[in-house]
Structure 1
Amino acid sequence: MFAPRLRRSLSYLNEDQLVAAIAGVPDDVREGHFAVLAIKGEETKRFVIELDYLNDPAFLGLLDLAKEEYGFRNKGALAVPCRPQELQKILDDRKVY
């Protein structure tokens, strides 16, 4: 039913958890990507970002802010406390290189 590589990487889950984990990923979040919400006041925008950004110093700074703001109890999509334009600038600046 599931691809062998995926099954091995999620082998710590039982069959029901595996189905839920796969079903819970939105279609626009491709392999090698993750969803992030940029939230500041009333402004909220959802981004789908490549995993490589987890090594980007500017993005890591946002994760530090998220840890301070929300702690580790946040459920659901990863949220960072910044205006969507700020996150977009980080994404755009990296594409220049």
Structure 2
Amino acid sequence: MTNSKLMSKKNKMIILKLAIEKVQRTLSLLGKKLTISDIEELEQQENDFYGKVLPKDVKVGHFAVVAKDGVSTKRFLVPLRYLTHPMFLTLLEKAAEEYGFDHGRALTIPCNPSEIERILGERWDGNTILNHS
């Protein structure tokens, strides 16, 4: 097995272990009245969990995308609402065809970064384009 496959498998195991631990801690709190400190502890556990899984610069409600066309490569932080944008969906289908669904890397889209910039330049509310910038 290659080094990258081992790392990917190891990362998935770590994420699974963290998720199981979180579920176990949450279940242990069932049946007892939650205190402020219990809620603060759960929030801290959630922050710890996502801090290990997500890159630090990825804000809640966003995901990272790498646009790569062979010449240019650029990373973007994209609001989740763009997952319903028709042009973005087309690019995701293109990415699935080229890279598959489980390649253990960041979401990479085979396009010129300007295509992502153009989509993000539109004010997309999840259903319609509000205006062009």
TM range (shorter): 0.7 to 0.9
Q: Which runs of 5+ in 2 are unaligned?
A: 1-15, 23-45
Amino acid at match of 1:35: A
Equivalent of 1:36 in 65, 83, 106: 65
Counterpart check, 1:69 vs 2:69: no
Deviation at 1:74, TM superposition (A): 1.9
Specify the SS of the correspondent of 1:94.
strand
Deviation at 1:86, TM superposition (A): 1.0
Of Structure 1 and Structure 2, the greater helix share is in 2
CA distance, structure 1, for counterparts of residue 85 and residue 19 of structure 2: 30
Deviation at 1:75, TM superposition (A): 1.3
Q: Which residue of 2 aligns with 1:13?
A: 19
- Share of identical aligned residues, percent? 45
Equivalent of 1:82 in 87, 98, 111: 111
TM-score, with structure 1 as normaliser = 0.75
Specify the SS of the correspondent of 1:31.
coil
Q: Which runs of 5+ in 1 are unaligned?
A: 1-9
Residue-by-residue CA offset, 1:48-90 (whole Å, 9 max, x unaligned): 0000001111100000000111111321211110010111011
CA distance, structure 2, for counterparts of residue 21 and residue 32 of structure 1: 12
CA distance, structure 2, for counterparts of residue 59 and residue 90 of structure 1: 7
CA distance, structure 1, for counterparts of residue 123 and residue 113 of structure 2: 16
Counterpart check, 1:48 vs 2:77: yes
In angstroms, what is the RMSD of aligned CA positions? Answer: 2.5
Q: How many residues align?
A: 86
Specify the SS of the correspondent of 2:119.
helix
Pair member with larger Rg: 2
